[in-house]
Amino acid sequence: MSSYQTILKDLPPKEMWGERIYTTGDFNYPESLNAAVELLDANLKRGFGKRPAIFYRDKQFSYDELAAMVGKMGNAMRSLGVQKGDRILLRFPNNPTAVALWLATLRIGAIAVMVMPMLRARELSYRTNDAECAFVFCDAASIDEVRKAETAMDTVKKVLICDGKDDVYESFEDHWMKASPDCPAEKTSRSDIALIGYTSGSTGDPKGTVHFHDDVLAIADSYAKNTLHPTENDVFSGHPSLSFTFGLGGLLVFPFRFGASVALLDQFTPENMLKTLVNYKCTIGFCAPTCYNMMMRLDEKGEYDLSHLRLGVSAGETLPKVVYDKWKAKYGVDLLDGIGSTEMLHIFVSNKPGDVKGGATGKPVPGYIAKIVDENGKELPPNTPGLLAIKGPTGCRYLKKPDRQAGYVKDGWNIPGDVFMKDDEGWFYYQCRNDDLIITGGYNVSPPELEAVINEHEAVKESAVVPKPDDLRGQIVKAYIVLAPGQVGSEALVKDIQDFVKRELAPYKYPREIEFIDALPRTDTGKVQRFVLRDRAAKEKAVKV
C-alpha cells in the first residue's frame, strides 16, 4: 500500500464530511490540479517572474528566484526518498525557507504538516505520530525540541536541518543547493491531500484537519478575491504563524494566488510589525485584535506612516468595537473582523471594505452560506443566539477522529462551536464559545491539555483552567490549583509551575495567573463546574503572584 493510500483510510467516511457547495463559478477547477503550480508557475506565465514575491529583512526574492528555490528543494526532497503522499513535518518561523519548502512539498505531491517553532517535544511527537510523518525539516534555531522528541517519533525516517548547521542532523541546504531548479510537478488531482493543519478545541488532543489541493485555492477564490480584492501591486504582511491557517492563507496563499508580494516577519513585537508595515509599504495586514491594540498603544503619537495600508484583517478572536473605532479614527483604515477555523481552512464570515459594522463579525463570504441553529440543527429566528452552521467550498475532515467528526459536522453543516446571533439585516454577531476553548491574544488554548500538564507537577493535586477577561489580550489563561498534601502556595511555587508548563508546552499556553484553592467546585456526579470558576475569574480580582 502506497504512502498516499495509507492516509486515505484514516479519513472519515465521505457521508460524514461537511457538504461542499459551489455557489459561484470561482471554483470550477480542473480535475488535474496542483496548488503549488497554481500559486507559483501561474505567476511566471503571467510575466511576473521579475516582480517581488517575498520581502524578508534586507532581502528580496523575485518570483523567478522563489521558483528556482522551490524547484531545487523539490528535487532534493525526491532524491532523499520523499514520495507522493508522504507527510512532511515543517517547523519554521515565518521566513523564505518555510514558504519555499511548503510549496516544494505540495509540488512533489507530498503533504505538508506545518507546526510552530514554539511547540515542545511532547506536542511535536504527538503531531508527528498522528500524521505519520516520514520526514522532519526544521529550522536550526528550534532543533532542540525535535532532538528531545525524536525517540518518540515512531514513523520518522529522517530529520533534516535548515538555515544552520548541527553536529547530529544533516543539512538540507547541502542537498538542495546542488540540485537542479527544473522540478516537474507531480500530477495531483483537486481532491488529493495537500496539507494537514492541527487545531486545539475543548478536548485535550489536537485534531488534524485534512485539506485538498482545491481547498487551498478555494480560500483565495472565495474570501481573498471577494473581500480583499487583491492585485499584483499589493504587499501583504502580518504576524500569524504560517502554521496557523490564518497565517498560511494571508501570508502565502493569498499573495501568490494574485501575483502580489508578502513581507515576512519572523518575530512579532508591536515595533517590529509597525516597522515592517512602514518599510515595505504594506497594503494589507493580517493580525489578531490584541496586536492591533498593541501597535496603537506604541504608536500613540502617530509616528508611523501607514498611509499606504488600505486594509487590516482581524481574526483569531472577536474584534472589540472599541479597537475597530480607535484604529479607524487613527489611521483611516478599515479593520475587517472575520471568523474562520482550521477545519474550514480560513475565514467564512467577514466584514467587507466600505461595509463594516463595528461589533459585528460580518456576513457570509461569497461562496459560503451560514445560519444559526439550536442543538438539534433547527434554524433559529433572527436575534436569537444559537450555534453557527456553515457550508461552502471547504469543509471539515478530521484525521483519525470519527467521534470528533460526528461532533463537528451535522447533516452536512459544519458546526464550529461558536455561539452567534444574526440580526434582521443578516449581520452575524459573536456571542461566546460553546465549549471551554480559551482564545488569548489570538492563540487557542485547550484547558484539558494544559490541565494535564499542570497536574504532572509534583506539587499539584488537580487543576482547572479558565479564561479571565483582559483588556490587552481579550482573555488570559487562569489556573485554579489544588495543591498536593503538604504543599504550601507561594510566589516561588507559582513561578515554578509556570516555568514547568513553558518547558512542556508552547509558552503562550502557560497560566498567566494562578490561584491556589482548597477544592474545585463540582457537581453531584463529580464533574468540575467550570462555569463557577469562569464567573469567579470574571468578577473577582484574583491575587496575582
Give me the mean pLDDT over the 266-295 stretch: 94
- Low-confidence winner among 3-17, 154-168, 301-315 (lowest mean pLDDT): 3-17
Query: At the top level of CATH, which class does the domain 438-539 belong to?
Result: alpha beta
Which of the four pLDDT bands, split at 50, 70 and 90, describes residue 202?
Answer: very low
Which of the four pLDDT bands, split at 50, 70 and 90, describes residue 525?
Answer: low
Confidence of residue 543 (pLDDT cuts 50, 70, 90): very low
Strands 311-314, 284-287: pairing is parallel
Q: What is the pLDDT of residue 385?
A: 87
- Residue 14, pLDDT > 60, answer yes
Domain 34-188 has CATH 3.40.50.280: no
**Do residues 67 and 42 touch, judged by C-beta distance below 8 A?**
no
DSSP calls for 424-483: TTS-EEEEEESS--EEETTEEE-HHHHHHHHTTSTTEEEEEEEEEEETTTEEEEEEEEEE
The CB density around residue 533, as the number of other CB atoms within 10 Å, is: 22
β-pair partners for 379: 373
What integer pLDDT is reported at residue 79 of this predicted model?
A: 98
355 exposure class (CB count in 10 Å sphere: 0-12, 13-18, 19+): exposed
The pLDDT mean for the chain works out to 93
> Is residue 379 classed as helix, strand or coil in its secondary structure?
strand
Q: Is the dihedral of CA 361, 201, 533, 441 positive or negative?
A: negative
Sign of the CA dihedral 88, 93, 97, 103?
Answer: positive
The pLDDT of residue 369: 97
pLDDT over 90 (residue 318): no
Residue 259 has pLDDT above 90, yes or no: yes
* CB 234, CB 255: distance < 8 Å: yes
**Whether residue 542 has pLDDT greater than 60:** no
In angstroms, rounded to a whole number, what is the distance separating the alpha carbons of residues 395 and 348?
11
Q: Is the dihedral of CA 336, 340, 345, 348 positive or negative?
A: negative
pLDDT of residue 446: 79
pLDDT band at 70 (very low <50, low <70, confident <90, very high): very high
Lowest mean pLDDT among 194-208, 319-333, 365-379, 395-409: 194-208
Instruction: In whole angstroms, give the CA distance from residue 384 to residue 404.
Output: 26
Residues 278-298: what's their mean pLDDT?
Answer: 94
Q: What is the pLDDT of residues 120-135, one digit of tens each?
A: 999 999 999 999 999 9
Residue 32 DSSP label:
B
User: How sure is the predictor about 544, in pLDDT bands with cuts at 50, 70 and 90?
Assistant: very low
Q: CA geometry: angle at 128 spanning 158 and 97, to 5°?
A: 65
51-69: pLDDT as tens digits:
999 999 999 999 999 999 9
What integer pLDDT is reported at residue 471 of this predicted model? 84
Name the nearest CA neighbour of 463 among 530, 415, 363: 530
Q: What is the pLDDT of residue 541?
A: 55
pLDDT in tens, 81-116: 999 999 999 999 999 999 999 999 999 999 999 999
DSSP H/E element including 219: helix 213-219
Confidence of residue 177 (pLDDT cuts 50, 70, 90): very high
Residue ranges per structural domain of the chain: 34-188, 438-539
What percentage of the chain reaches a pLDDT higher than 70? 97
Give the pLDDT score at 290: 84
What is the C-alpha separation between 375 and 387, in angstroms, rounded?
7
Question: What local confidence, expressed as pLDDT, does residue 23 receive?
Answer: 85
How many Cβ atoms are within 10 Å of 359's Cβ, its own excluded?
A: 16
